[in-house]
A and B are shown apart, each in its own frame.
Chain A
Amino acid sequence: MADPIKVYPSKPDKVYFFGTCLIDMFYPDAGMAGIQLLEREGIEVIFPQDQTCCGQPAFTSGYHDEARSVARAQLDLFPEDWPIVVPSGSCGGMMRKHYPDLFKDTADEVKAAGVAGRVWELTDFLLNVCHIKLDDLGEPTTVAMHTSCSARREMGVAEVGPKLLGQLNNVTLVEQARAEECCGFGGTFAVRHPEISGAMVEEKVETLVDTGARAFVTTDCGCLMNINGFAEKNRHPIAGRHILSFLWERTNDDKGDGQ
């Protein structure tokens, strides 16, 4: 669950960027957008090339030895005391909330806690640490927003996305029915229980379509892959983007740069 009180650091000169494996392979534009937004705020972004995955897929599937081995490979990548920003509530939640438990009673316990304490979900970091001010350069448009369950409940950043979108003068944000309900992704849940997951994403897409918006943004690429995949297969007139891609595109003159 979300921290009762969050203590944000002051704006740093440098941050570590943890890109997540889904962004790395499927949505690198979201990662690039996040990096460019940080750089525009005057922050130097360090991307350790040896990063792979936070270990969450194995962790939530119950394979904790395997998860720990992958997570351990990330622990040495952030030696300086800079914040670690993650463009995902889900991977951020894994690192911030579950690393301490995963490494409890091991030699890496202290190191894991040290990493966990520096992890921030990127939109939260942009809004509440960088105090970003967005200048909307795009055409008028209407979007819906889907906040991932981990961003909402684990990282406690549900209000961040709407606040950032609210800074965009030409963007109208519409809320779908049951906005807080899971889209049905849940990592391996979508594969272990495909029919239940299918029923969940079906209703999520319906409520998004019902808003009348033809586009939505989301905090997490798992949800994006799930919702877009269902909408595309069933020819529903809605398509989503990662919120970072959307924010960067609307506030940046040179639209080709992030791709």
Chain B
Amino acid sequence: MSPVKKAYIRPLDIRHGCIDMGHGAGGRSAAQLIEELFLAAFDNEFLRQGNDGAVFAPPPLPAGARLVMATDGHVVSPLFFPGGDVGCLSVHGTVNDVAMSGAKPLYLTASFILEEGYPLADLKRIVDSMALAAREAGVPVITGDTKVVERGKGDGVFISTTGLGVVAPGVDIAGSNARPGDVVLLSGTIGEHGVAVLSQRESLEFETTIQSDTCALHTLVAAMLLAAPGDVRVLRDPTRGGLATTLNEVARQSRAGMMLEESAIPVLPEVDAACELLGLDPLYIANEGKLIAICAPEAADAVLAAMRAHPQGRAAARIGVVTEDAHHFVQMNTRFGGRRVVDWLSGEQLPRIC
């Protein structure tokens, strides 16, 4: 708690107040914002120390363990969307980036860039949602930073988060590890996040019940690694660019090809319908709570069973195999009976006009 007597400070007017340049100037109002909003929400021993950085003892690492660090900037429009907001997204995104190395995430940092004039009430909603996400994931935000930019120079709120995690000895997960014959698994239905966000865009609001799938996936990863130690070779969360782009990245890193079965890729009927309406392909739509795993063929059944036994992997499916292919093509047998290349996305996916 601040050493200043409470009576001499007017508390933040969260209900009616807005961010002003002073909140980023490092003076009293900045301190007040940090204390009354961020500290109150994220509260933990490291933040309470009030230093510029968090000082902590390294976790006890067994021989052969390694650390992972991942960082990610979160910009999303609109900031609130069905099923989430930029706050919980900024926790889930980075926790997942750490988890995709097969690591157990330990700590997060957060940096906020706020736009002058942004309502404190909305900021509080975002920060609370972020704090809840961090608490649920068991990964505290232990240090952070706040800056304010002039009105018109930011899009409300930008949040960057960095995560630190530990990879257990013997776990070797990398995009370059896929080998011909390996099996490609997907943890559930694709496209919900992207469609949920799109449904809220100005001039595109359409009626839908689709919710973003944003969530932290590290416990799912832990269950998968436990089921087949050493046999999970690649983990990736297909966020921007969707499933298609992620698989192309892995194919290129691993210098292999892939053959997918369209009929095995789970898509919710509502997502399918929305994509149909907008002329989009669910394979290229962003997800925030799904992962793909590539594992040794003999371990595929065990990993799939572990995924399906976990609440986040109930709709998990085997969607394809890794092939030998010098051109690193990702191909797909269509549900219709034909075959096609599932290419990289070029540019942004935009709705078709006719």
The answer to whether A and B belong to the same complex is: no
Q: What is B's interface to A at a CB cutoff of 8 Å?
A: none
Enumerate chain A interface residues (CB-CB to B < 8 A).
none
